[in-house]
Structure 1
Amino acid sequence: MSTVGEVTRAALRDRRAELWRLAGWSLAEALPGMLAGLLTARAVDDGFLAGRPATGLLWLGLLAVAVLVGAVGTNRAYALLGDVVEPFRDDLLRRVVAGALAGATGGRDDDAAVARLTHQVEMVRDTYAGLLMVVRGFLFAAGAALVGLFSLAAPVALLVTVPVLAGLGLFAAALPAMVARQREYVLADEDLGRVAVAAVTGHRDVTVSGARDRVTGWVGGYVDAQARVERRLATMAVTRGLTLAVGGWLPVPVVLLATPWLVRQGLGPGAVLGALVYVVRGVQPALHALVQGVAAGGLRFAVTLDRLLRTGTPTPATAGTPAIAPVTPRTPAPALSLRGVTFRYGPHADPVLDRLDLDVPAGDHLVIVGASGIGKSTLAGLIAGVLHPQAGTIHLDGMPVADATPSKLADRRVLIPQEAYVFTGTLRDNLTYLHPDLPDAALARAAARLGLTGLLARLGGYDATLRPAGLSAGERQQLALLRAWLSPAPLTILDEATCHLDPATEARLETAFAERPGTLVVIAHRLSSALRARRVLLLDGRTALVDSHQGLLDRSAAYRELVGYGTAGTDEVRSSPPRGRSAPLPAGYAHPSSP
């Protein structure tokens, strides 16, 4: 079985060309850190203190040029990140899917496979990218600072190197304990996901048998266990703080205390100042980024990847044993489930939705249609958790919406309403606030997939400042749709989110979202959306029917009237399903709104 180190080294070897380009731009990025202290010392000693301010300004001008070169290097380095990270993620997904399929065909129940395929694979992808940039940043930034220190004053470089190495040694000694704590957290997370799936799957039997309190206590025990593990993991912050104090802050008083001796050795005030610049602006931030990055993302990467490799590799069949054993098919938990949902705007108002039952499988593409005011947007708000029913339950991916925190809801669904939200800020901030720290390469790929590259260029690029009043309604909707595409949430809800777009643009965007991994629910602005859907939910004020577009045309006079087919054959359609077609899908049936 592959280890974390082997898999990581293999992934890096496979992307050698991209890594060499990344290293080249990293050198450009590190140029200001290498020259900052040296040029500062020259500006002070040879310029300002020597009575030659023009010379001092010249040295500082050279530093400004170096900063510009470094900015270009940073931009190009982040642009290359996706070329290194995304192939690693794709390979990992293949491993996990292969392992889950092998386990299923081998008769092994594995409810945690969903958590690995979604949450854990994305965690490894994100932490791999972060770890790569953190280690790269430390090597080049700290290396540049030390090279600059030795060029400026070798004695100062030695004074700084000793505490830095001591801090790194302390951090390395604490890493095994940190890894153990992080592994406990991952296992606790899987255990909680497993029991939650079991509890949600059997919630009806639990309610009927009166075992709700006992099952709640059982699940609560796993929640408490995960909380204890998280608290133990948090105590490791003390070690990180000690590492930063020794390696990052101790060099500053060491240099200050040694200043009289350094001056006696012939060092000028500018050289001492330059040495402090290297420590405070080079070594200290680089060490801080390394410790925090490895302690956070690095540990999650190592432990989660180890877990995926252990559980995601198919187990070879033993001799004489069939590779595939017959198993009983298992129904996966739906991405969205509503049971007996009733909602009314006011205690005495007629219900907008009455005792609605609906299941939406993971990966489904459902379009909701109906006359204006029938309750489509209300249903979208209930699904998203921004409205709460007076009766019934709603679950997203097995999680009760009523009890979910806003952050938990944001992890599972993204809602784009008719009036798209755009705030004053940069284009990048508007696009990535649901998934921060996305590299520009990922933004560019998403924009190209949705056909919005031209719009982003017209708006001035990722660093351009947007003002909502300066955008058209259609532009705001397209930006909101791109933001939803970039969200990691598996369920996307589009509530007439394309109403200000022309039909061709709407079709292009809806088709792209239908091909995106995850589940798509569309509140239709135009009935052409129903032609692109796998299933259509019709709300007509009395019943709710779900079927394909053609199935509803065959079965429902209300649907035919909605699309302009008239009402002929109403009695025959309502009385029985048409010949050659299946009966209504049980998962989409809703009780009538009146007895």
Structure 2
Amino acid sequence: MSPADAPERLRTRGLRFLKAHRRALARLVGWSVLESGQTFLLGYALARALDDGFLAGRAAVGLGWLAPAALGVLLGAYGTGRVYGAVAALVEPLRDRLVVRVVERGVREADGGALSGLTQQVEIARDTFAGLVMVSRSFVFTSAGALAGLCSLAPPLLLAVVPPLAAGVALFALTLRPLAGRQEAFLAADEALAQDLGAVCPGLRDVTAAGAEDRIAADTGVLVDAELRAARALARWGVVRVACLALGGHLPLVMLLACAPWLLAHGVTPGALVGALAYVTQSLLPALTGLVHGLGTSGSRLTVVLRRLTPPDPTEPRPAPGPGPSAPHPPGPSAPHPPGAAAPRTPPALALTALTFAYGPASAPVVDDLTLTVPAGGHLAVVGPSGVGKSTLTGLVAGLLEPVRGEIRVCGRPVPGGDAAARRVLIPQEAYVFSGTLGENLAHLRPDPVPEKELLAAAEAVGLAPLLDALGGPDATVDPAALSAGERQLIALTRAYLSSAPLALLDEATCHLDPEAEARAEQAFAARPGGALVVVAHRVSSARRADRVLVMDGPRTMCGTHDEVVRRSALYRDLVGSWTAEGTDDDAGNARERPEPEGPGASGVPGKPGESGKPGGPGESGAVSQPALPLGDADGVHAVAGAGLAGDRRHVVPHGPVGQVQAPRDLRDGGALGGEG
């Protein structure tokens, strides 16, 4: 549910709530009518007391007319007391419903903010809702009583009071939407600044030790400036609110005084004029002041709190996901199409709807109710800790795994299916190169022969050209065992680039390349005409290059730009912090990761026995930059058997020559395979 649709959703729920509690609403109206009698009697009795009593020299008659006014005060006080009871009958069910929703969310989703919602936000919603009901009701019934009194005294009085009052209320109504928008923008800016300071302040020692004071100050300064701009915009609209109050509340008083000679000349008695002044000063002005300050200030506050406490109801119809992935809720609806209008010609490159997957009936879902959309030409980076489900997600999109429920569509075609398979290409971390010519490897995914000119252009775009020249061109014979891991990845990337599939899935397919080679390859895929790219990122620079970043974090999965998820996701901030960076940027604005020495096992890939790390070819160096997180399958399934498993006492080395083995004890945990001592 997008922010643009939230007001309509809250309005619909509000109408349903009032309909369900129409009896309490009817009691509120009835007691408000009794309370408004006090307003009517105030000015009318005062006018009659002056005209028929004190001004005519009959004090007893004047005092007699003041008696109904005193009685009206007593009846109004009684009605006001009953009004509070009717308001409670509306407010307390709302509070109970919000408490139930907060508790359900805290229990089912393990929401850490449930305690704050239960102890603070629910009470804010209850108090604010009660205040809005009171001020709105007071203005409606007080205005009705005062205008009825003016009409009964002398209809010409309405000419001096009604036009400015109506103009002030109309101007205030026109400012409600922009004023609420400015208030919500200010609250959002304030919360963003508070969240940033909450992350920065505990780490000031680390900031100082890393010499990052200027960068942190600049980032925080952006948020401070944003809040300042929001506060100034809100203040400007606050001036308009004061103008509404002056126009609708104070101008009628001036009009009555300025038009007094004309009114007295046209049959308005002095008592009626005094009664009209009483209506304006004692009834209309206080009621309008309460409406402007109460509705203008508390209305948007209530809206913001209700949006947070009442997520979209699963029984309500959901709009189609918009351009840009999000989880667990889509960021917004697609643009609606009028009846009879043609649908968009280009479907999204990838569309997931309520996707859920678990590795067993009793297992917790690895992917839970994920809905996202990657448009044609989009670029999405998927990040998260090891085992969170990044490779599982690419496997689901590729049709290698079957979801428990939900729908997957690639370019509008359902997965699994032959049409969808022809429109996506998956490049895993462990690149596959077969014996044959280099040209045969590169054209493997194309049914027809690939022109040499197109093949060379693809190699140049991806960064394979130096290796292609070193090997002797497309007709050179390839020995997979003689290639380094990075060289095999470049070949696999170029092969996928030459395929006709518009959706490319890179599952850590560049982990053995240096940052520059990785950037070149990813930018080549992102620049393919009509091609979309989904990257399982293992460097912060890779995530920065993407249009959107999907942070997989169980029920706290979220999506947005790099800057947005840095502010909103604690996990993403930790992941970015764990990537080693020098603190400088390259020409593309990407952080340069600090290289680490490569040697046997330094990159998670054992080297040849007796060899130290050495340059492996184009895109690799003797000190290859490696991710801070361990490589291997992101879902925790490794090609290397762990200790205690049955085996043949031989361990096949990934990326090594065929038949190459390691000693049984040369394992991750230093233990033996198959219980060998």
Choose 1 or 2 for highest CA Rg: 2
TM-score for the superposition, normalised by structure 2? 0.43
**Which structure is richer in relative contact order (CA contacts within 8 A, separation 6 or more)?**
1
